[in-house]
A and B are shown apart, each in its own frame.
Chain A
Amino acid sequence: MNELSHAFVVFISAIFTQNILLSYFLGLCPFIGVSREVKTSFGLGLAVIFVMTSTCLLNWLAYEYVIEPLGLHFFRFILFIIIIAAFVQFVEMVIERFSPSLYQRLGVFLPLITVNCAILGASLFMVIRDYSFIVTFGYGLGSGIGWFLAIIAMAGIRQRLAIDRIPKGLQGPGITLIIAGLMALAFIGFTGVLSGN
């Protein structure tokens, strides 16, 4: 199987069969905290797609050309997190400078993303699974879209739940987790869509 088709398979499986949120539990905190409204979830989701794709690629370069040749494997956590934080900071400044309207919509979410475990998690998975540059691109983009889909779906459901009567102990995080469980069940249904992986 050549690179491109491998990248495509990884891309699809990162969205559906191995959704970073529903099967690896990454990025759950903002998922539970921010998923009250579709509009804000949409903004956060878009920011995650963008940052995840870019940082995966940057971290791949850093791993291949800095960590690997120098043998600094134990140092990768620090390097990755610094790259992510610096990149997020940089994007924030660029957006603020060139598109104030976009900044108003996305700005508040950007600092949150630095501590989103899905971003760091995607980079660590990429290293463990030994992806090439193109496959990493597919993986980063796919994981971002997968996370985006999950949070949008959850926000849509929660907006409707707002008027329902829920047992007191289950309100908020409790019911969100149960819905997430049901969504995870639904996503398991995609298993087998890709037999090549």
Chain B
Amino acid sequence: MTAKTSRSKSIITEGLWYNNPVFKQVLGICSTLAVTNLVLNTLVMCVALIFTLSLSSFTVSVLREFTPRNIRMMIETLIIAFYVIIVDVLLKAFWPEMSGNLGPYVGLIITNCIVMGRCEAYGNSNPPAKAFIDGFFNALGYTFILLIIATFREILGMGTFLGFAVPYFSGPNWDKWIIMVMPPGAFFMLAIVTWIFRSIQAVKEDKAK
């Protein structure tokens, strides 16, 4: 029993920290950097990703024994596309405004490499429950990094947080950093976050030795 819990615990810490999708694996940043200029967009996008990643990893794992090796990529893509369509249809029905804001980026979760990467690396060779946990926590690790980036970008660039004005940053004494809400800001923020977290990790690893 203890061995079992410690193993699922290690899946969790792997996804959230040691093997974090964003700053360690550098996967799947393509489609979501574009929505990190607003915290709300990021939140919706990440919830969609958590849903898609955990369930498609689970499904791939369930079907892994029936899937012929040589067409498995195609099957995986279809499974992912299936869940993305559910998200897209739900979003269009209940929150058309947000669906418009996110534009093609919801659909692009299909080719988001982290989803495919986890299905291929983990879901394909592990039992369903573990695949689900792995997918869920990888997506969560992804979410928390993106939320950090989005928070900085929105506050520095627009002086708001989730659409509400932030006291000092929306006032006249603060020159808004327009660059933060433009594409270069996203690249710089991601680079800085990667730098900081990788350095922290490196220090910890040195200590462990």
Query: In the complex, are the beta carbons of A29 and B195 less than 8 A apart?
Result: no
- Chain B min CB distance to A180 (Å): 5
In angstroms, Cα B133 to Cα A16, docked, is 42
Whether, in the assembled complex, A85 has its beta carbon less than 8 Å from a beta carbon of chain B, the answer is yes
- Within 8 Å by CB of A169, from B31, B84, B188, B194, lies B194
Once the chains are docked, how many angstroms separate the CA of A84 from the CA of B41?
A: 28
Contact check, B103 vs A182: say whether CB atoms are below 8 A apart: no
For B203, the closest partner residue in chain A by CB is A169
Q: How far is the CA of A28 from the CA of B26 in the complex (A)?
A: 10
Interface-facing stretch out of B4-12, B58-66, B104-112, B161-169: B104-112
Instruction: Label chain A's interface by main secondary structure.
Output: helix
- The B94-116 residues at the A interface (CB cut-off 8 A) are 103-104, 107-108, 110-113, 116
Number of A residues contacting the other chain (C-beta, 8 Å)?
44
Contact (Cβ within 8 A) B202 A77: no
Is A26's CB within 8 Å of the partner chain B? Answer: yes
- Tell me, yes or no, whether B191 is within 8 Å of chain A by CB: yes
**Complex contact A177–B199 (CB within 8 A):** no
Q: Give the complex CA separation of A173 and B108 in angstroms.
A: 22
Return chain B residues, CB-CB under 8 Å to A9.
none
Please state if B104 and A181 are interface contacts (CB–CB under 8 Å). Answer: no
Which residue of A has the minimal Cβ distance to B34?
A25
Which residues of chain A are within 8 angstroms of B190 by Cβ–Cβ distance?
A: 177
**Does A117 contact B112, Cβ atoms closer than 8 Å?**
yes
- Which residue of chain A lies nearest to B194 when distances are taken between CB atoms in the complex? A174
Given contact pairs A24-B34, A28-B29, A181 touches B184 in the complex (Cβ within 8 A): yes
From B78, which residue of chain A is reached at the shortest CB distance?
Answer: A78
Do residues B202 and A169 form an inter-chain contact, with CB atoms below 8 A?
yes
CA distance A23 to B80 in the complex (A): 26
Verify A180–B26 contact, CB threshold 8 A.
no
Which 5 A/B pairs are nearest by Cβ-Cβ distance?
A181-B187, A124-B104, A169-B199, A177-B191, A169-B198
Task: Tell me, yes or no, whether A175 is within 8 Å of chain B by CB.
Answer: yes
User: Distance (Å) between the CB of B162 and the closest chain A CB?
Assistant: 22
Counting CB contacts under 8 A, is A47 at the interface?
A: no
Contact with A along B175-192 (1 / 0, CB 8 A): 000010011111110110
- Asked if B156 is at the interface (CB within 8 A of a chain A CB), the reply is no
The answer, among A32, A74, A168, for a CB contact under 8 Å with B88, is A74
Q: Which residues of A contact B170 (CB under 8 A)?
A: none
Kindly list chain B residues whose C-beta atoms are within 8 Å of the C-beta of A168.
198-199, 202
Q: What is the bound-complex CA distance between A119 and B104, given in angstroms? A: 12
Which residues of the other chain, A, contact B202 by a CB distance below 8 angstroms? 168-169
- A177 to B183, alpha carbons, bound, how many Å? 11
Q: Are the CB atoms of B111 and A116 closer together than 8 Å?
A: yes
